[in-house]
Amino acid sequence: MRADPGSHGRIRPVAVSGRRALRLEADGGSRGNPGVAGYGAVVFDAVTGDTLAERAAPLGKASNNVAEYSGLIAGLEAAMEIDPGARIEVAMDSKLVIEQMAGRWKIKHEDMRRLALQAQDLVRRIRESEGEVTWTWIPRERNKRADKLSNDGMDGEVVTSDYWREADSRPASLAGEQLTLLMPDEDGERAVPEPPVVVPARTSPTPRRIVLLRHGVTDLTVQGRLDGRGGIDPELNPEGRRQAYAAAQGVHDQILGEVPYVVTSSLARAKATGGAVAQALGVPARVDADWDEQSFGAWDGLSFSRIRDLAPDGLASLRSDPDFCAPGGESHRDFIARVLAAYERLLDGVDEGQTVVVATHRKPIMAVLAHVLGLDMASGWRLGCGPASFTVVDVFPGAVTIERLNDQHHL
């Protein structure tokens, strides 16, 4: 069995609503369609991101769709070996397979119908074991592991790797700590959180750690439209919700010492993102509206091209003039004053060796970083801050260190 190329650390036992949470990514391909075909599948722990199993095999001459269904079947079989009663999210870049398995599209081709029946039988057996299967389409660039394995299959390689068996055979003392991630049930109910996760603090000097987490995407984020305080205030879209739960695990790995609470802005997208983290850590979430995004007034909800039509120099002024504000909006100077006041209050309420997570927005994170790094307003825009990314700031007596910046590895 070859070495695991994608594990993000130790395998940890996970309880999610009483069931293990798995993520299955599957793919298949054909060089010729039909032509030389193969499939690939990889099963992850949905919370830790650890690779639990990999599958790949050649199929001879077959179509792309047959290869994709074969990858799905192999992945479901691997997931059932790990835990037949698990909560399994199936993610594939084949819109056809996802929609057909979800029951929204008809299956007309006989070979695909036969394979779909096999997959549906596996899903039925999982549900009979009190497990659950959900279906998610993902773009191809986010399915690289399964795509690589399917190419291995097309090259004639057979892969049957079960990393979870090695983890389960180790002494319990080496199995690692337990983390509960509370994914919403279909009926909206949530599990009771486990006690807070506590990681041993570092040796002296011990900093106060601030994890600045940007919210997941909304429809406005995807459309490239401004969305500030006092505006539309959209909820996370489905991708944003997935990012929020992924961010909960990414943040967990950065915890230093005790987490007394999570802070969120008052805007819906930040509260939802911070709420996922708070539930995963088993701590309360506190709302502080001073962590809200800047108010963009009449420009809120507009695209950048529309703003350029209305005010050709407006965006440049917004990025470089601290006293400029959109009609009815907030100046950068006023915005900085409230965000830095929130930051100072946060530091006053955090003890050495504690971590506080702040779920907020791009400009508040940029404002804090510019403050601690001594950057002017224009230079602050050079700092990356993608959706659902986190930045780690360690505050020592008389010093500040940026441990991580714009980290999105969990996505």
How much is the pLDDT for 167?
Answer: 64
Give the mean model confidence (pLDDT) for residues 60-88: 93
Whether 86 and 17 have beta carbons less than 8 Å apart is answered as no
Whether 98 and 113 have beta carbons less than 8 Å apart is answered as no
Give the mean model confidence (pLDDT) for residues 65-89: 94
161-172 pLDDT, tens digit per residue, is 999 887 654 443
CA-CA distance, 240 to 161, in Å (whole number)? 32
CA-CA distance, 273 to 245, in Å (whole number)? 8
Q: pTM to 2 decimals?
A: 0.53
Give the mean model confidence (pLDDT) for residues 99-105: 89
User: What pairing do the DSSP bridges indicate for beta strands 35-45 and 51-62?
Assistant: antiparallel
120-134 pLDDT, tens digit per residue, is 999 999 988 888 999
Please spell the DSSP secondary structure of 16-67, one letter per residue: BTTB-EEEEEEEEEEETTTEEEEEEEEEEETTT--EEEEEEEEEEEE-HHHH
- Beta-carbon contacts of 346 under 8 Å, excluding residues fewer than 6 positions away, are 210, 263, 356, 358
CATH class of 208-407: alpha beta
Whether 8 and 39 have beta carbons less than 8 Å apart is answered as no
293, 332, 361, 410: the active-site residue: 293
CA-CA distance, 382 to 373, in Å (whole number)? 12
pLDDT tier, 112 (very low <50, low <70, confident <90, very high otherwise): confident
How much is the pLDDT for 201?
Answer: 37
| Chain mean pLDDT for the chain | 85
How much is the pLDDT for 146?
Answer: 96
CA-CA distance, 18 to 20, in Å (whole number)? 7
25, 54, 89, 215: the active-site residue: 215
Whether 263 and 368 have beta carbons less than 8 Å apart is answered as no
Give the mean model confidence (pLDDT) for residues 96-115: 87
Give the mean model confidence (pLDDT) for residues 143-156: 94
pLDDT tier, 205 (very low <50, low <70, confident <90, very high otherwise): low
Please spell the DSSP secondary structure of 106-157, one letter per residue: ---SHHHHHHHHHHHHHHHHHHHTT-EEEEEE--GGG-HHHHHHHHHHHTT-
How much is the pLDDT for 382?
Answer: 87
How much is the pLDDT for 256?
Answer: 86
Whether 39 and 155 have beta carbons less than 8 Å apart is answered as no
Tokens describing residue 356 = 């506080």
- Counted residue by residue, the chain has a size of 411
What are residue 303's phi and psi, to 5 degrees? -75, 160
Residue 215 among the catalytic residues? yes
Give the mean model confidence (pLDDT) for residues 150-155: 93
CA-CA distance, 162 to 201, in Å (whole number)? 33
Q: Where are the domains of the chain?
A: 21-174, 208-407
Asked if pLDDT for residue 195 goes beyond 90, the answer is no
Q: For the chain, give the percent of residues with pLDDT over 70.
A: 86
Give the mean model confidence (pLDDT) for residues 52-79: 94
Q: For the chain, give the percent of residues with pLDDT over 90.
A: 59
Report the CATH superfamily, name and number, of domain 21-174: Ribonuclease H-like superfamily/Ribonuclease H (3.30.420.10)
CA-CA distance, 139 to 93, in Å (whole number)? 5
Measured CA angle at 33 (ends 27, 37), to 5 deg: 50
290-322 pLDDT, tens digit per residue, is 999 999 999 999 988 899 999 988 888 888 899
